[in-house]
Chains A and B, each alone.
Chain A
């Protein structure tokens, strides 16, 4: 190997998902489109390539025309943007020039289009008028759309890679992540995001090492560079030396041996030394993931996020489609609880073409239960599908983003209506299912005693709860260090929730990232939480730690924790009291 020691670059970011991998970098373009491959055509193939480009443009044109047609009346005034985009598709600077390049240079359409766009864009960058400067976005939209119809909806340029790669991107949206063929991905590296960002949650769920918040990874790492991703320590090594590679391989083997040792006992129940039984459940996003919860020994599905079935569509999923997906999950775990959370996004935005009237504060906006109570038809379709799936197993329903008791009462009424309509139509279903809410909005915590009278359980969603209690955007890299589950404000909030639910005689579950964090475990057991739900890969580790703890001791420990003033003090106390149990020698070498 010619690689010199000095070529090695070490980048430090935030650990997104544990694990170590070594592989070749695959850069997802800054514009959000995958790296475009360039290839030369034979003389005879040129005409065919031009036609391929033309039909891709035609396809894009048809799609846009259909979008205009399907635009509801109230948005029609915005449709002129799309009409302009249709006109841009055939603009000679874009259309004509791309064909020119294909013909003159004998290259593939994707490459020709990319070349044209990258020539046009700089002309906008120097403009002093910011509104006109931003018009280059219109060109990006249009060229992205042509690119997509050239490469196919599934973005097969990633599918074309026949080796496993490490994906390097500025950021990945959940929608983008589901487009990727994940079996081709060894690891994730992103410039943005943190521990609780969507990409890292997905990476953890799928057991793919990830390092986030690296800031400049996309500008430093080049396509095909050899990279080591250490998701456990949050470091990335670019162009590693021979020595580093050998060391890493050893570490990787040790880590994997440790994981499999733990996994062997994962199907046994998680009881503390003094026989306090804790259910360790799995969070899932895609119905297929139920299989990994099952194989990691999960005691059920603590959180089934139902948003994916609504994304990247032109219309809402039908009751039948939803029912089939829910049934898929319930069928794998017929005798274990499956907590289905109702739609937690603004469905209109998910299914339709994104217009430019974005909410200023989507996290505080029209989403989840707020959206569902406005769009009762969309909501009822989902409720009916859930009630129908409930006949096959132990289904519970969770309403997200509850901020007052009226919302609970209204949602329950709609659930009753859904059951009644199924009954009238003679469709089999089960109505006596436990109903709970996500406790994630501070107002729900403050009025928890009132809400407790209306529900069978609380499920604490720590990701959003911490975000709202601390007023910190968890995807903001500059604030990531302030977002801390061990903050006294967070622990006290959890204490309030648990006290109220104990008094009301209802159960308390937890399904945020905190539930799968070993260092939070003594506190959570001390609080008397009944079920913890996490990404499936964490189940074996958490179960094995639970078995080493004594529930009685954690109560005294919690009292001490509540006396602390800062997150740092709480972390220190945890380290002093439980360090030997929680520390995982392989995590830090």
Chain B
């Protein structure tokens, strides 16, 4: 288990019309795969592995959903920021 101090989370809201669908999930997973440690996406207490498109899809994040992105290694801070930015940009849609 990582130390509590190492865990960093950011909250973000889904803004794009279609929600997190296959394409956007694939974008997240592609970035998360470069992380040193696990990256999580959490919605209403349910959390999934951000490197799995299918796992992300099963969260059913429609427009307006609030999600929390969590990293377990501070070295992955860049990855966290990138994922948050993608959400904020509505995955370019």
A81 proximity list for chain B (CB < 8 A): 22-23
The verdict on B62 contacting chain A, using a C-beta distance below 8 Å, is yes
- Point out the residue from B19, B21, B53 that lies within 8 Å of A91, measured CB to CB: B53
B52 near A87: Cβ-Cβ < 8 Å: no
B30 proximity list for chain A (CB < 8 A): 87
The verdict on B75 contacting chain A, using a C-beta distance below 8 Å, is no
- Among the interface residues B20, B26, B55, which one has the most CB atoms of the partner chain A within 10 A? B26
B51 near A92: Cβ-Cβ < 8 Å: yes
How many angstroms between the C-alpha atoms of A323 and B23 in the bound complex?
A: 44
How many angstroms between the C-alpha atoms of A83 and B27 in the bound complex?
A: 11
B8 proximity list for chain A (CB < 8 A): none
A87 proximity list for chain B (CB < 8 A): 26, 29-30, 53
**Which residue of B has the minimal Cβ distance to A130?**
B62
- Point out the residue from B20, B26, B52 that lies within 8 Å of A93, measured CB to CB: B52
In the complex, how many angstroms separate the beta carbon of A129 from the nearest chain B beta carbon? 4
A91 proximity list for chain B (CB < 8 A): 29, 52-54
**Which residue of B has the minimal Cβ distance to A141?**
B22
B52 proximity list for chain A (CB < 8 A): 91-93
How many angstroms between the C-alpha atoms of A34 and B19 in the bound complex?
A: 33
A131 near B57: Cβ-Cβ < 8 Å: no
A133 proximity list for chain B (CB < 8 A): 60
B86 proximity list for chain A (CB < 8 A): none
Mark contacts of A331-374 with chain B using CB atoms, 8 A cut-off: 1 yes-contact digit, 0 otherwise: 00000000000000000000000000000000000000000000
The verdict on B49 contacting chain A, using a C-beta distance below 8 Å, is yes
A88 proximity list for chain B (CB < 8 A): 22, 26, 53-54
Stretch at the interface among A119-127, A236-244, A407-415, A444-452: A119-127
Interface size bucket, A side? 20 to 34
**Which residue of A has the minimal Cβ distance to B21?**
A135
Mark contacts of B1-26 with chain A using CB atoms, 8 A cut-off: 1 yes-contact digit, 0 otherwise: 00000000000000000111111001
B61 proximity list for chain A (CB < 8 A): 132
A129 near B62: Cβ-Cβ < 8 Å: yes
The verdict on A406 contacting chain B, using a C-beta distance below 8 Å, is no
- Point out the residue from A83, A94, A124 that lies within 8 Å of B58, measured CB to CB: A124
Given A129-B62, A132-B60, A132-B62, verify A80-B55 contact (CB < 8 Å): no
The verdict on A183 contacting chain B, using a C-beta distance below 8 Å, is no
Q: How many residues of B contact A (CB 8 A)?
A: 20
In the complex, how many angstroms separate the beta carbon of A50 from the nearest chain B beta carbon? 19
- Among the interface residues B49, B51, B52, B55, which one has the most CB atoms of the partner chain A within 10 A? B52
Q: Which of A10-44 contact B (CB under 8 A)?
A: none
In the complex, how many angstroms separate the beta carbon of B78 from the nearest chain A beta carbon? 21
- Among the interface residues A81, A87, A88, A132, which one has the most CB atoms of the partner chain B within 10 A? A132
B54 proximity list for chain A (CB < 8 A): 88, 91, 93-94, 120, 139
A124 proximity list for chain B (CB < 8 A): 57-58, 60
The verdict on A70 contacting chain B, using a C-beta distance below 8 Å, is no
- Among the interface residues B51, B54, B60, which one has the most CB atoms of the partner chain A within 10 A? B54
Mark contacts of A64-102 with chain B using CB atoms, 8 A cut-off: 1 yes-contact digit, 0 otherwise: 000000000000000011011001100111100000000
In the complex, how many angstroms separate the beta carbon of A132 from the nearest chain B beta carbon? 5
In the complex, how many angstroms separate the beta carbon of A555 from the nearest chain B beta carbon? 64
B21 proximity list for chain A (CB < 8 A): 131-132, 135
B49 proximity list for chain A (CB < 8 A): 92
- Among the interface residues A83, A92, A94, which one has the most CB atoms of the partner chain B within 10 A? A92
The verdict on A138 contacting chain B, using a C-beta distance below 8 Å, is yes
Given A91-B53, A132-B57, A139-B54, verify A83-B18 contact (CB < 8 Å): no
How many angstroms between the C-alpha atoms of A128 and B60 in the bound complex?
A: 8
How many angstroms between the C-alpha atoms of A139 and B53 in the bound complex?
A: 10
How many angstroms between the C-alpha atoms of A129 and B29 in the bound complex?
A: 21
B18 near A80: Cβ-Cβ < 8 Å: no
B51 proximity list for chain A (CB < 8 A): 92
How many angstroms between the C-alpha atoms of A127 and B22 in the bound complex?
A: 15
In the complex, how many angstroms separate the beta carbon of A121 from the nearest chain B beta carbon? 10
How many angstroms between the C-alpha atoms of A478 and B57 in the bound complex?
A: 36
Give 17 A-B pairs besides A87-B30, A92-B51, A138-B22 with Cβ atoms closer than 8 angstroms: A80-B23, A83-B26, A84-B53, A87-B29, A91-B29, A92-B49, A92-B52, A93-B53, A120-B58, A124-B58, A128-B60, A132-B21, A132-B57, A132-B62, A133-B60, A135-B22, A135-B57
Q: Which residues of B contact A (CB under 8 A)?
A: 18-23, 26, 29-30, 49, 51-55, 57-58, 60-62
Q: Which residues of A contact B (CB under 8 A)?
A: 80-81, 83-84, 87-88, 91-94, 120, 123-124, 127-129, 131-133, 135, 138-139
21 A-B pairs within 8 Å (CB atoms) are namely A81-B22, A84-B23, A84-B26, A84-B53, A87-B29, A88-B53, A88-B54, A91-B29, A92-B55, A93-B52, A93-B53, A93-B54, A123-B58, A124-B60, A127-B60, A128-B60, A128-B62, A131-B21, A132-B57, A135-B22, A139-B57
